A and B are shown apart, each in its own frame.
Chain A
Amino acid sequence: MRCLVVEDEPDIRADLAQALRAAGFVVDAVADGESAWYQGDVEDYDAAVLDLGLPKLDGLTVLRRWRAAGRAFPVIVVSARGDWTEKVEGIESGADDYLSKPFQLGELVARVRGLVRRGAGKLLPVIGIGRLRLDTVRMTATLDGVPVRTSPLEFRLLDYLAHQSGRAVSAGELAEHLYGAAESGDTNAIEAIVARLRRKFGSELIQTRRGFGYLLEGA
C-alpha cells in the first residue's frame, strides 16, 4: 500500500510518515504543493494525506488538479483552519475525508485504512441498474451520467440493494447490514436515509413493497 503525505510542518510530516509506515504503508512525504501535484500526477498511490495550507501551491488547487487529471486515489484533507467554507470546498473538490488540526494520529491512520479498504477487493467496480451507475471503488453514483452526491451510509445502502438482484430488502435487514446485528430493530434511520435518497435520485429509484421492504428499480 502506497500513501503520499503532503505536509509543510517537518515534525508533523515526520510523525505522519512514521505512523503510516508503522501501519504497513509505503510512504512518500513532500513539503509543498508543487511537489505534491507532481508526485500525485506521476505516481500511483492508494491514498493521500493532504494539508491545505501549503507553500507554492495550496492544497485545494493540488486536489482539483489531481481530480481533473483523473487521479482517483482517496484523499484525506487536513487543515489548521477550522472554517466550514473550506471544509465544504475540500469535500466538493474531491476529498474523501476531512480532519481538522490538531488530530490524533491513531484516528488519521484508521481513516486512511478505511478509505483504502473501500476501494479494495471489488470484483465489479461499476454496477449499473437502469439509469443508475454505482462506482464501488470511488463510491460515487451517477443518474443518467450526472454525478449525484451521496454520503457513505447512503452509498452503502444503495450498494447493498444493487447487489440483491431485484429482491425486496426489509428495513431490518438493511439496518443489520449498515449498523450490525445488534441494531437491526431500529429502522427509523433507514427510513430517513431512503427518504434522502429519493429526494436526490427521484421517488421512483427505491420502491417500497408493502410487507417486504425496499427494492431498487434503477428509475
Chain B
Amino acid sequence: MIARSLRWRLLLAAAAAILVALAIAWAFMTLLFERHLERRLEADMTRDALALIASLRLDARGAPALAVEPSDPRLQTPAGGYYWQVSNAAGTLRSRSLWDSALRVPADVPATRWRLAARRGLFGQDVRVLERSLILESDRPPLRVQFAQDAAPLSTARAEFGRELALFLAGLWGVLLAAAWLQVLLGLRPLARMRGDLSALAEHADARLPPANLREVQPLVDAINALADARHKDLMQARRRAADLAHGLKTPLSALSAQSRRAREAGAVAAADGMDRAVAAIGLVVEGELARTRVQRMGEVRGAVTRLRDVVERVANVLEHTQKGEAIAFDVDVPANLMLPIVEEHLAELLGALLENATRHARRRVQVRGDCGEGWTRLAIEDDGEGMSPERRAAFNAVDARADQVGETGGLGLVIARDLAIAGGARLDLQAALLGGLRAEVCWMNRARTG
C-alpha cells in the first residue's frame, strides 16, 4: 500500500532526507565542539606554560631550574592528569604529577610556535601535549617545554555534547517530519479536489474540470478536459452514425414497401410477398443493430437520477397516441418517489420496448406497478392479452435466448428490452400475468433510491 501511495512516498523520502541532513549536521557540530574544546585546552596550557617559562632559569651546568612551581593541584598529584616537563641536554625538570614517568621528547619540537599534539602512552591514557623549544640564553642549549593533559575529559565532554545534540536533533527531526506531513497534505490537496471534479466528469458526459488555482496543475486539467472532449466527440459521432444508419436504412425500406404495394396492385403477388419478407428481415436486423447501439450508449453514460413514474407516464402518453394504444387503458401505479440512477433516455428505451410489446398484445388494459425494498427496485408490466406459453417464457428467460426463439413479432422487442435491462444493471423475467396475459418484470438490484 505504501509503495503505491504518493503521500507515503513523499513522506518517506522527506523523512530519509531530513534524517541524513541532521546526521551530517550532528557529525559536523560535534567536530566543531571538539575543536573548540581543544582550542580552549591549548589556550589554558599555553597560559600555564608561559607562567612556567617566566620563572625558569638555567643553573651553572646549564640545566633548567625553577624559581616557583605552577600551583595547579593536578600538577602536584601523581598521575593527576596534568603534567609539565622542561628538558635540555644538561637536565630535566618535571611536575610531581609525572611521578617516575617522563614525557617523550620528539626530535622536531618547533622553536617558533606552540604545537598541540595527541600522544598515547602516559599512564596508559591518551594525552594532549603542548610543546615548543626555546632558548633562554644564547650560549646555552635550547630547552624543550612540554605541558600535557589527559584527553579523557575532552572525550567525555564531546560524548555528552554529542548525546545531547542527538536528542535535540531527534526532536527537531520529529518537528520537521510533522512539517513535511503538512506540506505533503497541502501539496496533494489540489489532487484531492481534482478527484472530486473527476467524479463529476464521470457522472456527466458534458461536465469538464474547472480551471485549476495552481499553475502547475493547469496543464493536467487541460489534458484531462481535452481527453473528455475527445471522448464526448466520439460518443456524439457514434450516436449520429446510429441515427444516420437508421435513417439511411429505414427510409429505403419504406420505399421498398411502397414498391411492394405497387407490385401487389399490379398483380405480382408472389414478388410482393418476397419483397415484404425481405423488408421484414432487413428491418429486424436494423432494429437489432440499433438496439445494440443503444445498449452501448447505456454503458457509456453513467450518473443521472431519473424518476421512474415520470418516464412510465411519458412513454404511456406516446403509446396512447398510437393506433393500438389509443384503445388501451394504461393503469400506472408507481410511487412518485421511486428513483433510478439511469439516464432518462435510456430508461425510456427500456420501458418503451416493454410497454410497446404489452400494448401490442393487450386487449384493453396494460397495468404498470412499481415497488422497491432494501437494495432493489421492481417494475412489473402486465397486459390482459393472450400471454405467452410457458415454453416460450422459459426459452426467453434462458440466458442466450434469441428473437426467433420467442416468436418473431413480439420477440425482438423483448430481446431488445432484455439487452437494455442487462446493460442498465437490471434483470428482465417473463411470467404469467394475473390479468391473463404476459407479465414482464424488471428488477434493479442495489440500484434502488428514493427521493
Contact = CB atoms under 8 A, between A and B. Distances in A.
- Are A and B bound to each other? yes
Contact of A9 (B255, B283, B384): B255
Contacts of B367: 192
Given A101-B251, A102-B253, A196-B332, A83 B321 contact: no
Q: Which DSSP category, helix, strand, loop or mixed, fits chain B's interface?
A: helix
A87 B356 CA distance: 12
Nearest to B367: A192
Given A105-B258, A192-B367, A87 B352 contact: yes
Contacts of B320: 151-154
Contact of B287 (A82, A92, A152): A82
Interface residues of B, number: 46
A84 B348 contact: yes
B318 A12 contact: no
B331 A192 contact: yes
A39 to B, nearest CB: 21
A96 B317 CA distance: 11
A196 to B, nearest CB: 7
Interface stretch (A42-50, A130-138, A181-189, A207-215): A181-189
A153 B327 CA distance: 6
B329 A105 contact: no
A110 B255 contact: no
Contact of A12 (B249, B255, B279): B255
Interface string A156-189: 0000000000000000000000110001001011
Interface in B317-355: 317-318, 320-323, 325-332, 344-345, 348-349, 351-352
A80 B348 contact: no
Label chain A's interface by main secondary structure: helix
Given A111-B323, A195-B331, A84 B253 contact: no
A5 to B, nearest CB: 13
Interface of B: 243, 246-247, 249-251, 253-259, 261, 279, 283, 287, 290, 294, 314-318, 320-323, 325-332, 344-345, 348-349, 351-352, 364-365, 367, 384
Interface of A: 9, 11-12, 15, 53, 80-85, 87-88, 90-92, 95-105, 107, 110-111, 114, 149, 151-154, 178-179, 183, 186, 188-190, 192-193, 195-196
11 contacts: A53-B247, A53-B251, A81-B243, A85-B349, A103-B254, A105-B258, A107-B323, A110-B323, A189-B329, A190-B329, A193-B329
Give 9 nearest A-B pairs by CB, closest first.
Answer: A151-B320, A84-B352, A192-B331, A80-B250, A15-B258, A152-B326, A84-B348, A189-B329, A11-B255
